[in-house]
Structures are given as C-alpha cells and as structure tokens.
Amino acid sequence: MDIALTDEQRRALEQLADKLYQTQPAIAFTGAGISTESGIPDYRGPNGLWSKHNPTKFRDFLRDPEIRRVYWNRRRARYPVLCQARPNVGHLVLARLQQAGLLQEIITQNIDGLHQAAGSPPDSVIELHGTAHEIRCLDCGARWPAADFDPGPPDTIPVCPHCGGIVKEATVSFGEPLDKAELNRALRLAQSSALMLVIGTSLSVYPAAYVPRRALQHGALVAVINNEPTPLDAQATIVVHSSAGAALEYLASLLLAPQSTAFA
C-alpha cells in the first residue's frame, strides 16, 4: 500500500506507537471504515447501504412476511459478494499486533468476519452486531453456518428446518437488542484497558458506541483513527483523520519487524 500520510499524521502515529509499546496490551474497537478497503460499503456514507435500501427493522421483520421475503432476496444477492471480500492491510496489521502481544481483544461492529480471516483468534474478536456468516432461528435458537443453510429459490421465505420458526442471519437488525453477554464482555474489557484504538467508526451507533466512552470514563488512553471527525475526538489522546489501512500500515512499520510489514 502507498502510505499517503501527512507529516502531522505520521507524528501522531509515532506518538501512538510509543504509547502502545509502553501500555501494551491494548484493545481495538473497529467499525465499517476498516472494511471499506476490502470493498464492503459502509452503512451511513454517501455510497452506503442505507442510501440504497431502507434498513430492515426487527419488529417489521417479525410481523410482515413480505418484509421477510425482501430481506431474504437481498441476502441472496449480498452474501456471495461478502464472501468474496478479503482482509485488507488494516485487518492484517491488527492480527499481527495481536501475535506480537501488543494488542489483546478486538471489539467490532462489523459482521463480515474479516478480522478472523486475517488471522485474529476467533475467541479474541467480539462481534457486537453479530455475524453474517451464520443463520439463526428466532424461535428455537438453532444456528447454522451460512454455507450449510439453503435459503431456497428467490422470492421464497425460508423457515427453520427444526421447528418451522422464523430465521434470519445472525446479525443485529434495527430495534433488535445486542447480545447482552457480548456487550457486557466488551464493556468490562473497556473499563479495564489502558489503551483503546478506535478505528474506522463514526461512533454514532448505540449501544456499541458506549464501549469507547466506558474506556475513557475509566481512565484509558483513547486513540481515534477515522476518515471523518467523531464525537470523541476532543477527549481522545491521539486523533488521526486518515484511512484505516494507511494509518495502521505505518503503525506496523514502527512496531513490528520489517518482514512482518510485507502485507499481501
């Protein structure tokens, strides 16, 4: 990757490298901005998914078969594209930082599984908004890898093969509560961390956005890497308005052995 960073951005990342080395291990909190470089559109941007389709509201999904039909048609078209996405340099750097002992858990709002595909241990990735790579029954709780679940032909509405209940991908829809255990785990990590990297997120989706705030409230240093300003910029110790990939690759060049920065 051609690292197009200003001198000011480089100085901020050099300061971050120093803090990360001194206060390891850190934790990371990531959003859609780390995956856009893998060809996955964000949700809120001008080319985001919400600008093209109204998001599915959980209550409407439950009550209206027609909404479920549209949902599954979109899923049939969207999921093969998601499966073709590959981790980019940002995901790879975070995995390498974990391997080097500089980074502990990754808390993500993303549903694409790219952190795990980059080499981050699955049990170290907390997926606050679930995963698109599993299907779950909302009635009996059964779950399947997406590859093992046949949604049937277009314009049909699949049901649970065990109980006949409503099924959807194992992601959190609008109006659907987050998994309480995963959210509590993320909040506990935040309040015990010394340094949190906030990467590629506008911090505008709640309750997930409470996680970095919890870290701040408990005295953690917070570093924000995002293309656009965020609500936490004024309170963060370090702020870099940059793409995630460019910033993280430069950070890796400062912290990791030279051979570790030759990313695919």
Q: What DSSP state is assigned to residue 159?
A: B
Contact 174, 201 (CB under 8 A): no
Q: Please confirm, yes or no, whether 129 is among the known catalytic residues.
A: yes
Q: What DSSP state is assigned to residue 35?
A: T
For 175-198, give one letter per residue: b (16+ CB within 10 A) or e: ebebbeebbeebbebbeebbbbbb
46, 221, 34, 217: which is closest to 109 by C-alpha?
34
- 3-state percent helix, strand, coil for the chain, nearest multiple of 5: 40, 20, 40
Conformational region of residue 39, where left means phi above 0, alpha means psi within -120 to 50, and beta covers everything else: left
Q: What DSSP state is assigned to residue 57?
A: B
Residue 99 host element (H or E): helix 89-99
Q: Which of 91, 115, 129, 133 is catalytic?
A: 129
- Single-letter residue type at 138: L
- Just list the catalytic residues: 129
